[in-house]
Chains A and B, each alone.
Chain A
Amino acid sequence: MILWKMIFKNAFRHKLRTTLTVLAVAVAILAFGLLRTVISTWYAGVEASSATRLITRNSVSLIFSLPLSYYNKIRQADHVEMVSYGSWFGGIYISEENFFANFAVEAQTYLELHPEYVIPEDQRHDFLRDRRGFIAGRQLAERFGWEIGDIVTLQGTIYPGNWEFQLAAVYRGRDESVDENQFFFHWEYLNETLEETNPAMADQVGFYLVGVTDPDLAAQVAEEIDAMFENSPAATITETEESFVLGFISMTEAIIQVIRVVSFVVIAIILAVVANTMAMTTRERTGEYAVLKTLGYSGIQIMLLIMGEALVISLSGALLGIVLTYPAASGFRQALKAFFPTFSVQPGTILLDLGIGMLVGIAASLIPARQAVRIRIAEGLRRIG
């Protein structure tokens, strides 16, 4: 009991120093938490993907298309409920900095396969009827202040020219993980234009989206589809939406690795700061520890005293950091909503924060505690400050 009381009294004896150390730990934990959240956000698309949807694309790479004639063949495969298709359009809105994903899709089936896009019934109806209409995610529409009926022009990169669309509908995500920054328009419109201007590019689709009746059959259906086209001019790769997204992420793996490494550097920084505080504290109190030893305290008890003090400081900092992580994350989301569809702190991150708080406290007190334990009573009493 007395030990506990002493730990707390000691920790807050040097108010300024303790406050600063707690602050430093809080900042580090905050930074660590945000970095972990960036990493988990990177994988957010995986969570949002559906287990009943397959993506079929050209086996050579994503820039190669598939003939539209595959549509009817895929539809006839067993356990296939519905098939949709589309192409990455890659249009630029005013300038390259305004990047957002834009696709030409077979509208009716695409929306049916994506029940997570919530659209008011009248808008859905308008969009399906309007050949030049487009549908935008809520965040995308907010970002550029688009209202229903507005005309938006995209400059084509893959498909040359300026393309005009009219905003017919705005979708919301059914839950937080849904990306509300996408832009979809009618594949029909793209194809009709290409038939006139560039017939070689017409009747080609970038990918097929295949809804299967039962998620357990997904792998089987994928194999069946690929087998159908194995010996045709454009062979296919079919995989679940999840592994498709994962494949995308693995291409940018090096960046994620860098962020991961950096997130541990901040822990090392904070370890140095807390260790310094503890080293200064124990050096100043060498005399006191000698007195405690004279009174009969064992080396272990003194060690616990120092370690306890370090833990009180590092855990207070960690708690403060965790509390601050939430408002910081929502600020981050506001600032970067164009890039990150969602930005929410995972429970695992908080546990990791606490674990690191503990670890820093213990590691920071090891050297100072060893010195304090080893010191001889007479020597300790002789030394001042």
Chain B
Amino acid sequence: MAVPLSYSIRSLLTRRLTTVLTAGGMALVVFVFAAVLMLAEGLEKTLVQTGSSDNLLILRKGATSEVDSAIELDRAAAIESLPGIAADDLGRPLLAKEVVVLITMDKKGGGSSNVTVRGIDRQSLALRPQVNIVRGRMPRFGVREMLVGQSLVRRFQGLDIGSTLSGTLEDWRVVGVMDAGNTAFNSEIWADAEQVMQSFRREAYSLVIFRLEEDAPLDEIATIVENDPRLILQAMIESNFYREQSEMMARFLRVLGITLTVIFSLGAVIGAMITMYSAVANRTGEIGTLRALGFRRRAILLSFLAESLFLGLAGGCAGLFFASFMQFITISTLNFQSFSELAFRFTLTPVILIQSLVFALVMGFIGGVLPAFRASRMQIVDALRTS
């Protein structure tokens, strides 16, 4: 027969300060564990949501980011004759030739960073339905006007509607603010591609993007693009491209976070061990009594293990509770791969929830297993005598 679970729970409640401190230590570890995974998840999610699986992105062969790429005007024109390009209601092809450059801008809190400027085409907005204009208007084509992502307005100086940039970009004016949700576009500046190319003295586009027709022969298109010796280009689905853009940094965050929490968890596990050893020592008499009543060694073992698992669970829940508030926080930093500023939000997913709870339970288990064995090994007579 098993010792009732309520015995384990009540034992924890009796010594409140100890329970709170031990679970608190584990809660902090779980908090860091969950927060770092949420950060990596947020980064990935932001970039994955940026791309659409219906769009095909064409870059120069070998380019690892949009900024690295260059597609000469004649090559870009050749792409327009590819098969499988969808058209809008008016029959115009849903294709955009864009140019992407980086400019250094000053942040509000001091310091500066690289901001992506995307020179857009007439169909660019139609290809990215995630983008909504929330204030002002769309920049006109043929004029030096800019549409600015919401995350940028919050973090960089001088991007309010009506303001003009200084330095090389003197005559550029902000006319609108766009909300692109949790996507990289929220950290970009959009303006007419022709104007951007003139202003930055670029003679080539960076990329060509188009909407694929339903059941478009994807493999065939990719083969045409990649095998044409005149083109030297590569084609990929937009969402895959953006997923790759997050890979390096997300991996860095995960490795850093997991290494740290494993080290931190040593401290919390030792804390649980101290608590459980002392619980066993203080309750020697009780253990003797339980054994005398007929509970088996295994029941005692499981009972103390359950107590320790409850400690871990309490810590895990508390840690997750506080970590869930991190979802309100947005972080903005330079993405190594695109070399430009990117804002993203801590994102909690069911997978992270489960991973964190399992992690907490593992800590409780490791902390409790040795003390529980000690408790189960006690001789009835000795245990009863000590009290």
B-binding segment of A25-33, A177-185, A208-216, A295-303: A25-33
Choice from A28, A59, A157, A233 contacting B167 with Cβ under 8 Å: A59
Chain A residues near B18: list those with CB within 8 A.
276, 279-280
Beta-carbon nearest neighbor of B341 in chain A: A251
B205 to chain A, nearest CB (A): 14
Choice from B25, B232, B334, B339 contacting A273 with Cβ under 8 Å: B25
Q: Would you call B111 and A253 a contact (CB within 8 A)? A: yes
A161→B62 CA distance, assembly (Å): 8
Q: Would you call B68 and A157 a contact (CB within 8 A)? A: yes
Given contacts A62-B102, A96-B248, A157-B63, contact A276 B271 (CB under 8 A): yes
Chain A residues near B277: list those with CB within 8 A.
16-17, 20
B-binding segment of A2-10, A116-124, A262-270, A346-354: A262-270
Give the secondary structure class of A's interface: helix
A27→B274 CA distance, assembly (Å): 15
Q: Would you call A60 and B200 a contact (CB within 8 A)? A: yes
Q: Would you call B114 and A265 a contact (CB within 8 A)? A: no
A-binding segment of B27-35, B119-127, B183-191, B207-215: B27-35
A261 to chain B, nearest CB (A): 9
Beta-carbon nearest neighbor of A29 in chain B: B267
Chain A residues near B39: list those with CB within 8 A.
258
A370→B198 CA distance, assembly (Å): 73
Chain A interface residue bracket vs B: 35 or more
Q: Would you call B333 and A273 a contact (CB within 8 A)? A: no
Chain B residues near A21: list those with CB within 8 A.
270, 274
Chain B interface residue bracket vs A: 35 or more
Q: B96-112 interface mask toward A, CB cutoff 8 Å, 1 = contact, 0 = none? A: 00000111100000111
A26→B275 CA distance, assembly (Å): 18
Q: Would you call A20 and B263 a contact (CB within 8 A)? A: no
Chain B residues near A251: list those with CB within 8 A.
111-114, 333-334, 341
A106→B359 CA distance, assembly (Å): 53
Q: Would you call A262 and B29 a contact (CB within 8 A)? A: no
Chain A residues near B334: list those with CB within 8 A.
251-252
Q: How many contacting A-B pairs (Cβ < 8 A)?
A: 152
Q: Is B379 an interface residue (CB 8 A)?
A: no
B233 to chain A, nearest CB (A): 10
Q: B2-18 interface mask toward A, CB cutoff 8 Å, 1 = contact, 0 = none? A: 00000000000000011
Chain A residues near B111: list those with CB within 8 A.
247, 250-251, 253
Beta-carbon nearest neighbor of A92 in chain B: B64
A155→B341 CA distance, assembly (Å): 26
A74 to chain B, nearest CB (A): 19
Q: Is A272 an interface residue (CB 8 A)?
A: yes
Chain B residues near A35: list those with CB within 8 A.
260
Q: List 19 A-B contacts (CB under 8 A).
A: A16-B277, A23-B270, A24-B266, A27-B263, A59-B104, A60-B167, A61-B103, A62-B114, A63-B102, A158-B63, A160-B62, A161-B62, A200-B203, A250-B110, A251-B111, A273-B21, A276-B18, A279-B21, A367-B17
Task: Please report A residues at the B interface, Cβ cutoff 8 Å.
Answer: 16-17, 20-21, 23-24, 27-28, 30-31, 34-35, 59-64, 90, 92, 96, 155-158, 160-161, 200, 233, 235, 247, 250-255, 258-259, 262, 265-266, 268-270, 272-273, 275-277, 279-280, 367, 385
Closest 9 CB pairs of A and B: A250-B111, A254-B333, A273-B271, A276-B21, A251-B334, A24-B270, A272-B25, A61-B104, A61-B102
